[in-house]
Amino acid sequence: MDQADPMHIDIVSDVMCPWCYIGKRRLEKALATLPEIPVKLRWLPFQLDETLPREGKDRQTYLNEKFGGPDRAEEVYAPIRDAGAAEGIPFAFDKIQVSPNTLDCHRLILWARADNAQSEMAERLFQMYFLEGADLTDRATLIQASADVGMMSDLVAELLPTDSDIDKIRKDLDKAREIGVTGVPAFIIDERFLVMGAEKPETLAAAIKHAHETKPGD
């Protein structure tokens, strides 16, 4: 394999998933230890909660329904906060006011592929949600995110109110389930190996190296 033939790594993720943000950081660390292996990243959609209305839901209401109250929610989020801190992510869960339906976020990440900016788009949405408490169902917020990563925000503003690519996102969501993705993050390495969860950088690096060494035809 040479620079003209990079190995593909598909990242199945949802921007309202804190472990997906942690998984992104760990993948970056893994790739940094393997500079000799050229890779091309592609982000694919997953929705932790497809039942959320398009306008989202009040965060406290959502947490109460999901966990039964703030005390249980804090039990769940405490280890996530610690894991995030270890990866340089200062989660600010208390700033989040709206639990979003992330369908439009996934359209934005899809559109970013044309600009080779999917990872930058995912990063910006993670930042907005987990660090700034932004409402990811708000179109103005998404348009600003597109501008922040250098996309054509005027075009994004035109497309967001339409149904453009919604069917494609839903098909990709179905495809993720069909190949066995039951939780995120999930990493599909070279279309052959599926790694589920925000594994440690060493684990991800070992999987990537194994895929590289066993690539058919090499």
pTM: 0.95
Q: Does residue 77 fall inside a structural domain?
A: no
Q: Does residue 209 fall inside a structural domain?
A: yes
Q: Does residue 66 fall inside a structural domain?
A: no
Of 19-23, 136-140, 176-180, the least confident:
176-180
| 71-92 pLDDT, tens digit each | 899 999 999 999 999 999 999 9
Q: Does residue 54 fall inside a structural domain?
A: no
pLDDT band at 4 (very low <50, low <70, confident <90, very high): low
136 phi, psi to nearest 5 deg: -80, 5
CA-CA-CA-CA torsion for 158, 160, 166, 168, nearest 10 degrees?
Answer: 60
pLDDT band at 164 (very low <50, low <70, confident <90, very high): very high
Q: Does residue 96 fall inside a structural domain?
A: no
Q: Does residue 146 fall inside a structural domain?
A: yes
CA distance 133 to 148: 17
Question: Any idea what the CATH number is for the domain that residue 163 is in?
Answer: 3.40.30.10
pLDDT band at 1 (very low <50, low <70, confident <90, very high): very low
Q: Does residue 41 fall inside a structural domain?
A: no
> Which domain does 138 fall in, by range?
7-23+101-191+198-213
Total structural domains in the chain? 1
Which pLDDT does position 3 carry in this prediction? 47
Average pLDDT in the 130-150 region?
A: 98
**What is the residue-wise DSSP string for 28-68?**
HHHHHT-TTS-EEEEEEE--S-TTS-TT-EEHHHHHHHHHS
Strand partners for 195: 187
pLDDT at 55 over 60: yes
Q: Does residue 116 fall inside a structural domain?
A: yes
